Structure 1
Amino acid sequence: MAPGGYAWWYVDGVSDDGRHGITIIAFLGSVFSPYYAWSGRADPLDHSAVNVVLYGRPKAWAMTERRRGSVRRDATSLSIGPSSLDWDGSVLTIRVDEVTSPLPSRLTGTIRVRPAGITPGPFTLDAEGRHRWWPLSPASRIEVAFERPSLRWNGHAYFDTNEGDVALEDSFRSWTWSRSTLRHGAAILYDVERRDGSRQDLSLRFDPDGTPQPIAPPVPAALPPTLWRLPRATRSDDGTAAVLCRFEDAPFYSRSLLSARICGEAVQPVHEALDLDRFRNPLVRLMLPFRMPRALR
């Protein structure tokens, strides 16, 4: 991986009863790391982390940044510290062994993601081709089994990967993204505002086997600002949407569970909004180590 670059693998899931949620992101060259930014972005692998977040009850957050010596990877597996991701061709198995922050406690468990199908390839998010997004499996099933805390559930999930050659904030001002599980497949809405003022707006429907097809962009739908007064919006068939549950609320980022209509169906999209102008603010970066400690070795 070249200096200044990044890669991440992202999984989110929501339980079938709607009571629980999870997000797992494995970062190489952590895009939101203040340490990576302060280092001059010389060595991506020296700024790697596994971010694990549990929503509902119990709640938990873990994201410890680790150095190059804690990273092991090959064609089918990635280990960052004591946590790992392994792909056997049909199931992604994630083993979590982390310490929560800011209050330390153990977070240990196993998550299995079972894709219904794999999509054919990545999308480019910028005109220069420096940022690639591959929604590997928009329609997946997930099995969550934690020992600490004690927690088990099954649900629907989403799995993607991103890679890039330069910092996100150098290329983009903001984006909103959502993924919805449909009766047959999934839908993704991805509206990107680039740093040069141009846009990349993707509205996609995926068959259960991963086959993508573009759809007409649904109508813009306003959402209330977050507790940090972060503006956000989404799209829906009828131009209306509501926030059901707030998952993450940071000065520059939010993740929520919505209700909306997409592709003629009543759905509950997982939605995120990202403001990279806010992320560039030095005061915001000074706040991040409280949630993202860095291991000493």
Structure 2
Amino acid sequence: MRVCPGGYAWWYVDGVSDDGRHGITVIAFLGSVFSPYYAWSGRADPIDHSAVNVVLYGKPAAWAMTERRRHSVARDAASLAIGPSSLDWDGTALTIRVEEVTSPLPSRLSGTIRVRPEGITPGPFTLDAEGRHRWWPLSPAARIEVAFDRPSLHWQGHAYLDTNEGDVPLEHSFRSWTWSRSTLRHGAAILYDVLRRDGSRQDLSLRFDPDGTPRPIEPPVPAPLPRTLWRLPRTTRSDDGTAAVLRRFEDAPFYSRSLLSARICGEAVQPVHEALCLDRFSHPLVRLMLPFRMPRALR
């Protein structure tokens, strides 16, 4: 995947254990979209601002996201290495090997994650009118196996895998979005409501068969959610216009990730939900806060 100056690419995995006690998110960034260092550099070289973000939810909990320079990145058609961590695709499963240091309190984060898609979708969706941002929900329904040595952690569950790429910064094209993915009895559902910078919208409501075939559905009814601890507004959609927050995963000034309870496609589900405000992200004070959670490797 080619990443142009000013652009970005990322690969995203999230999973929740079958018993609901644990969750994980892994994002591999080239041209890290939330990096203050990339913004301050003028965004001339996206590969010089790459990172693997790994977050464990539940007990134990952990966060790691160290930005690395160009010489620490290696990639080909089936693999990507950023520093000591790597992602490898063998045609049936994605294997992620994690070797990171947590922040702000340093400790070792070491383990292996395997994501096994139930099906692969046919291609990407464009999120803006100019075609500068592409989202590909590669596998809306997948299985995940998590095995960590540091900390000691082993579980299996349901998962989701996608990739995103763009030619310009997110905040140039979008003001905000909300997104959720729900595992259904057969396949998955994704709701993606985007507010563009020009005031227009892109609202995607999709159901995916187990083999990855997408089927547009009538958008469910808007459902309000309480503001986050940072007073970030957020909403979602559900069949009956109601939803509840079961668990808070991430709560940042411009971003939240949560586990919800809702009804989608006639089923009681527990969607993984995110809300992003790029107006807040662009505020200079917020960018000054980010290095405490996103250190940059000195070499």
**Secondary structure, counterpart of 1:41 in structure 2:** coil
The list of structure 1 runs, each at least 4 consecutive aligned residues, that deviate by more than 4 angstroms after superposition, is none
- 2:133 maps to 1:127: no
1:213-232 alignment to 2 at 5 Å?
213-232=215-234
- 2:271 maps to 1:269: yes
Cα separation, 1, equivalents of 2:183 and 2:104: 33
Equivalent of 2:21 in 13, 19, 22:
19
| Code of the aligned partner of 1:229 | R
| Code of the aligned partner of 1:73 | R
Cα separation, 2, equivalents of 1:87 and 1:104: 29
Residue matched to 1:80 = 82
Residue matched to 1:142 = 144
| Code of the aligned partner of 2:209 | D
1:56-75 alignment to 2 at 5 Å?
56-75=58-77
Deviation at 1:147, TM superposition (A): 0.2
Cα separation, 2, equivalents of 1:93 and 1:135: 18
Residue by residue over 1:158-204, the C-alpha shift from the partner in whole angstroms, topping out at 9 and shown as x without a partner, is 00000000000000000000000000000000000000000000000
User: What 5-or-longer segments of structure 1 have no aligned partner?
Assistant: none
Q: What TM-score does the superposition give when structure 1 sets the normalisation length? A: 1.00
Residue matched to 1:242 = 244
Residue by residue over 1:51-86, the C-alpha shift from the partner in whole angstroms, topping out at 9 and shown as x without a partner, is 000000000000000000000000000000000000
Residue by residue over 1:95-146, the C-alpha shift from the partner in whole angstroms, topping out at 9 and shown as x without a partner, is 0000000000000000000000000000000000000000000000000000
Give the length in aligned residue pairs. 297
- 2:194 maps to 1:192: yes
Cα separation, 2, equivalents of 1:263 and 1:278: 33
Residue by residue over 1:196-227, the C-alpha shift from the partner in whole angstroms, topping out at 9 and shown as x without a partner, is 00000000000000000000000000000000
User: What 5-or-longer segments of structure 2 have no aligned partner?
Assistant: none
RMSD: 0.2
Cα separation, 2, equivalents of 1:53 and 1:209: 28
Residue by residue over 1:29-62, the C-alpha shift from the partner in whole angstroms, topping out at 9 and shown as x without a partner, is 0000000000000000000000000000000000
**Between the two proteins, what is the percent identity of the paired residues?**
89
Cα separation, 2, equivalents of 1:264 and 1:278: 35
Equivalent of 1:115 in 102, 107, 117:
117
| Code of the aligned partner of 2:270 | Q
Residue by residue over 1:8-28, the C-alpha shift from the partner in whole angstroms, topping out at 9 and shown as x without a partner, is 000000000000000000000
Q: What TM-score does the superposition give when structure 2 sets the normalisation length? A: 0.99
| Code of the aligned partner of 2:191 | L
| Code of the aligned partner of 1:45 | I
Residue matched to 1:32 = 34
Cα separation, 2, equivalents of 1:19 and 1:238: 27
Deviation at 1:259, TM superposition (A): 0.2
Deviation at 1:2, TM superposition (A): 1.3
**Secondary structure, counterpart of 1:169 in structure 2:** helix
- 2:7 maps to 1:5: yes
| Code of the aligned partner of 1:212 | P
**Secondary structure, counterpart of 2:122 in structure 1:** coil
**Secondary structure, counterpart of 1:7 in structure 2:** strand
Cα separation, 1, equivalents of 2:151 and 2:266: 38
Residue matched to 1:178 = 180
Cα separation, 2, equivalents of 1:2 and 1:76: 20
Cα separation, 2, equivalents of 1:220 and 1:124: 22
Residue matched to 1:207 = 209
